[in-house]
Amino acid sequence: MACFIVPAAEAVITSIATKVVKSKEDVPETLKVQFDNEKTEVVEKVPFSRKLGWLNNLLWGGSALLAFEHVWHGEVVPWFPFLTAAENAADTAEMLNEMSTVGVTMAILVTAIWLGMVGVTAAIERKTLKAGKYRIREEE
Amino acid sequence: MTLLITVFAAIICTVIWYIKAPKSKMKLGSLCLMYWGASLMWLVDALFEYSELHSEYFTPAPMDMLNDSYLGLSVVALGLIIWLVIVLIKDPKGVVKATLFKKVTTEGEA
């Protein structure tokens, strides 16, 4: 009915958080890593704001496509109150129930998957740095 | 069917992104995440529906299936349109700028 509103609301919050984090971030941290094959590479760590961007894309993209599905099924209309379920109390109660169950689960699952992605990338970063013989320099 | 079509779109996009990354500037990552986000949300929807309908969930009426397939394809098309708009606005290859501003002379040239 309007389950996409919950992840969309989360997307608004995470987009603002991304802007704040990005404004506080310095120049991306660069590391010079020497690998076992004697090859030296300067690598740039992915800043946290970019990782938050992944969550934004998941939430905004998913919400947009789900909103289209709701338009398709006639649950979202281009006139006030925009949600057909908001036209009477019984449907509104059902809509709020769906938002608090399906909508919240959607937001939790997407966030959990993103946390998994962040965890995996952090592990890959650690493994890559370990594979290098030593860290020659670490810039601010 | 909508979930299935979106999942396939997400898988195909991810494979293309993996083949082209990291040199590609076409913002394929955004398209992948958009489809994955929608797939995850429809998965939750499907799980809740399954908890109500049980095995009936897997035997939809042919008309419902046709409508859902049509919706799935429309969703994939909409995702591609959103991605195209993002690419044209962000213009990572500078193609739009190059089209709008034709170079007359380079600094230092006579």
ipTM > 0.90 for the complex: no
Peptide bond into B22 cis (omega under 30): yes
Distance from CA of A92 to the nearest CA of B (A): 19
Q: Do B34 and A61 touch (CB under 8 A)?
A: yes
Alpha-carbon distance A4 to A8, whole Å?
6
Check if the beta carbon of residue A67 is closer than 8 Å to that of residue A4: yes
Check if the beta carbon of residue A3 is closer than 8 Å to that of residue B45: yes
Q: What is the pLDDT of residue A140?
A: 44
Which residues of chain A neighbour B37 with C-beta distances below 8 Å? 7, 57-63, 65, 110
**Span B27-83, pLDDT tens digits:** 899 999 999 999 999 999 999 999 999 888 899 999 999 999 999 999 999 999 999
Higher local confidence (pLDDT), A123 or A39: A123
B3 touches chain A (CB under 8 A): no
Which residues of chain A neighbour B33 with C-beta distances below 8 Å? 54, 57-58, 61
The CA-CA-CA angle for residues A26, A29, A30, to 5°, reads 140
Model confidence at B23, pLDDT cuts 50, 70, 90, reads confident
Alpha-carbon distance B88 to B5, whole Å?
26
The CA-CA-CA angle for residues B50, A11, B6, to 5°, reads 45
H helix or E strand, kind and range, residue A42:
strand A40-44
Q: What is the pLDDT of residue A129?
A: 75
Q: What is the pLDDT of residue A137?
A: 54
Packing angle between helix B28-53 and helix A104-131, nearest 10 degrees? 130
Q: What is the pLDDT of residue A108?
A: 97
